[in-house]
Amino acid sequence: MNETLRAKKVLKILNKTYPKISVPLKSRNIFTLLISVLLSAQCTDVNVNNVTSKIYPKYYKPHHFRKLGRKKIERLIKKIGIFRVKAKSIYNLSNLLIKKHAGKVPNTFQDLEKLPGVGHKTASVVMSQGFGHPAFPVDTHIHRLAQRWGLTSGKNVIQTEKDLKRLFPKKSWNKLHLQIIYYGREYCKARDCFGITCKICTTCYPNRKKPVKTKKA
């Protein structure tokens, strides 16, 4: 079975398993989506949602966070990993949005990736979930699953993103990256499936007997 056929089978199983999909991070607007994605690095979505549920009713614009200042932002997000670094990024990007973008989140990769604390993956999530532009955010989990399913041999998320974009129709990207995340959490866990038990793994590789070793991103 070649990678094109595997991709078709993966898409079919995911669409059947998750015909409708919801965005895991809660947000009030595109700015708060950006903040939530930034906070989610090395942190669970559940933890981010718990913390931001107490923040976003009152603070949901760049002006709010500039007025708060770094120390107050730190106190608000102290239950989240590396909160001091993230607080600095939130404060600085809020200032930059006010100064250069009239307080609005830009809708291009180039401008998003110039914001403090915003890398390509974060920008991809905002472009996809916030603006509805075709994008394929790839994190270490999607990278691992794509290797297990024989969709990439890439050694990093950059190559994996290119391979997935080549294999799947553009119209499916925004939904698909979320479907893969949900499927990985529920069926193809890192220390459970090992590439030999879930439906996608057994469909793509029916004769596979040994656990798959994936290359870290």
Region 74-92: what's the mean pLDDT?
96
177, 194, 201 from 120: Cα distances, Å: 15, 28, 28
Region 166-177: what's the mean pLDDT?
97
pLDDT tier for residue 213 given thresholds of 50, 70 and 90: confident
Residue 156 has pLDDT above 80, yes or no: yes
Residue at 106 is within a domain: yes
59 with 101, same domain: the answer is yes
Q: State residue 42 phi and psi, 5-degree precision.
A: 55, 35
pLDDT tens sequence across 39-71 = 998 899 999 999 999 999 999 999 999 999 999
pLDDT tier for residue 91 given thresholds of 50, 70 and 90: very high
| Number of domains present in the structure of the chain | 2
Residue at 209 is within a domain: no
Domain boundary among 112, 130, 148: 130
Domain boundary among 130, 156, 189: 130
12 with 100, same domain: the answer is no
Residue 217 has pLDDT above 80, yes or no: no
Region 128-137: what's the mean pLDDT?
96
Residue 155 has pLDDT above 90, yes or no: no
What percentage of the chain carries pLDDT values higher than 70?
100
pLDDT tens sequence across 35-46 = 999 999 889 999
